[in-house]
Amino acid sequence: MYGKKTRSRKVDGEAAAVLALQALSFLAGEPARLDRFLRLTGVTIDRLKTDADAASAQTAVLDYLLADESLLLAFAANAAIAPREIAAARSVLAGRERE
């Protein structure tokens, strides 16, 4: 998994949203990861289901990854992207929140 070659791509609004949803899927793929995310953020599963496409929810998911380096690196390796792309996507989404 960590041996995958990472690809670099421009992170625009659409790419940032897709990346955040991939990150959410990554968290949901392992019940313990999802449970920890829900407990630490205070988000309920029902709210997550209804708000997953909102920039604020997507930013929260990326913030969560960025706060845990081992999780960040695991997701980046799984998605075959550079970890810096997650920070770039977070910045784009945070800008969308203000719109």
CA distances from 64 to 75, 84, 99 (A): 12, 14, 22
Q: Indicate the pTM of the whole model.
A: 0.84
61 three-class SS: helix
Name the nearest CA neighbour of 93 among 11, 16, 5, 19. 16
In contact, 52 and 3? CB cutoff 8 Å = no
98: pLDDT confidence band, cut at 50, 70 and 90?
low
Query: In this structure, what DSSP letter does residue 43 have?
Result: -
Measure the CA–CA gap between 90 and 59, rounded to whole angstroms: 6
Question: Comparing 9 with 65, which gets the higher pLDDT?
Answer: 65
Domain ranges of the chain: 13-97
The answer to whether residue 6 scores a pLDDT higher than 90 is no
Residues 8-52 have pLDDT tens digits of 556 788 999 999 999 999 999 999 999 999 999 998 999 989 999
The answer to whether residue 55 scores a pLDDT higher than 50 is yes
